[in-house]
Chains A and B, each alone.
Chain A
Amino acid sequence: QVQLQESGPGLVKPSQTLSLTCTVSGDSISTSGYYWSWIRQHPEKGLEWIGLFYFSGSTYYNPSLKSRVTISLDTSENQFSLKLNSVTAADTAVYYCARGLAPPAFDYWGPGTLVTVSS
């Protein structure tokens, strides 16, 4: 059974960097054919795709966030991470990590973690 779990600070100050980690169990993030993605949801709003890392090493980002986002994999820990810099209150959201089939259909999701940007 594949499981994903997000972890990281729940409170980040404006202008700082939001850093989250997704720990994967029940599957190897090195497995070919999968995408590893971050998706967020603002309070009472819809889903917003942030970006993804394809097993081949390619990364794809939402153009609206691309200048501030980095997604990377740590195969030794079976984790992948999100860094979003220069955050503002508009980045307050629930952040989900997810595994994607190809072409990206997200079949496993973490439970989500609320990140609040506030001083």
Chain B
Amino acid sequence: SYLLTQPPSVSVAPRKTATITCAGNNIGGKSVHWYQQQPGQAPMLVIYYNNDRPSGIPERFSGSNSGNTATLTISRVEAGDEADYYCQVWDSATDCVVFGGGTKLTVL
């Protein structure tokens, strides 16, 4: 089955840039989606189709995808960005949705 690997945790100072990676075999050939999950809440889509933002998501959130790594970038990080972040793809080889293990973003 297809595997997505994320770092368990990332720390960043306020107003700096956070980078969260999602590694997968030839992930550049897939559409990657990213979710933010605050404690006790449902996940929220923040990036879809690699680098599109749903309505209401700040421009500070952006995505890229190439080769074996997809990346979620959060610019000018705010305290409210502290959350768990998950990447997700559709694996057409197995007709399955696959989630990464999640990354806890800590704002120092």
Residues in A lying within 8 Å of B, measured CB to CB? 37, 39, 46-49, 52, 60, 62-63, 96, 101, 103-107, 109-112
The A/B interface has a contact count, at CB < 8 Å, of: 57
Across the interface, B42 reaches (CB within 8 A) one of A37, A46, A103, A112, namely: A112
Q: Give B8-59 interface residues, CB cut-off 8 Å to A.
A: 31, 33, 35, 41-45, 48-49, 54
Residues of B within 8 A of A101 (CB): 48
Interface contact B42-A110, CB-CB below 8 Å: yes
Cβ distance B101 to chain A, nearest Cβ, rounded Å? 5
- B residues engaging A (CB < 8 A)? 1, 31, 33, 35, 41-45, 48-49, 54, 86, 88, 90, 92, 94-102
A49: chain B residues at CB < 8 Å are: 96-99
Chain A residues with Cβ below 8 Å from B97 are 37, 39, 49, 52, 60, 62, 104
Residue among A47, A49, A62 having the largest count of chain B Cβ atoms under 10 Å: A47
Write out the residue numbers on chain A whose beta carbons fall within 8 Å of the beta carbon of B94.
63
**Separation of A96 and B49 alpha carbons in the complex (Å):** 22
Q: Could you show 10 A-B contacts with beta carbons less than 8 Å apart?
A: A46-B99, A46-B100, A48-B99, A52-B97, A60-B96, A63-B96, A104-B88, A104-B90, A105-B48, A107-B54
A105 near B45 (CB under 8 angstroms)?
yes
Measured in the bound complex, the distance between the Cα atoms of B42 and A112 in whole Å is: 6
Is the CB–CB distance between B102 and A47 below 8 Å? yes
Asked if B49 and A105 make an inter-chain contact with CB atoms under 8 angstroms apart, the answer reads yes
Please provide the 8 A-B residue pairs with the shortest distance between their CB atoms, ordered closest to farther.
Answer: A49-B97, A105-B48, A109-B42, A105-B33, A103-B90, A46-B102, A47-B99, A60-B95
Rounded to whole Å, the gap between the CB of A96 and the closest CB of chain B is 6
Across the two chains, which residue of chain A brings its CB closest to B41?
A111
Chain B residues positioned under 8 Å from A46 (CB to CB):
86, 99-102
